[in-house]
Amino acid sequence: AQKITQTQPGMFVQEKEAVTLDCTYDTSDPSYGLFWYKQPSSGEMIFLIYQGSYDQQNATEGRYSLNFQKARKSANLVISASQLGDSAMYFCAMREDNAGNMLTFGGGTRLMVKP
Partner 1 sequence: GAVVSQHPSRVICKSGTSVKIECRSLDFQATTMFWYRQFPKQSLMLMATSNEGSKATYEQGVEKDKFLINHASLTLSTLTVTSAHPEDSSFYICSPLLLRGRYNEQFFGPGTRLTVL
Could you tell me which of 92, 104, 40, 47 has the C-alpha nearest to residue 67? Answer: 92
Instruction: Find the shortest distance in angstroms from Cβ 5 to partner 1.
Output: 11
Instruction: Find the shortest distance in angstroms from Cβ 16 to partner 1.
Output: 28
How, if at all, do strands 32-39 and 88-96 pair? antiparallel
Between 100 and 115, CB nearer to partner 1: 100
Instruction: Find the shortest distance in angstroms from Cβ 90 to partner 1.
Output: 11
Cβ atoms of 111 and 90 closer than 8 Å: yes
Question: What would you report as the CA-atom Rg of the chain, rounded to the nearest whole angstrom?
Answer: 14
Give me the amino acid identity at 28.
S
Between 6 and 76, CB nearer to partner 1: 6
Between 9 and 85, CB nearer to partner 1: 9
Between 43 and 85, CB nearer to partner 1: 43
Binding site for partner 1 (CB under 8 A): 37, 42-45, 47, 91, 95, 100-108
Instruction: Find the shortest distance in angstroms from Cβ 43 to partner 1.
Output: 4
- CA dist., res. 50 & res. 52, Å (int): 7
38 forms beta bridges with 46, 90
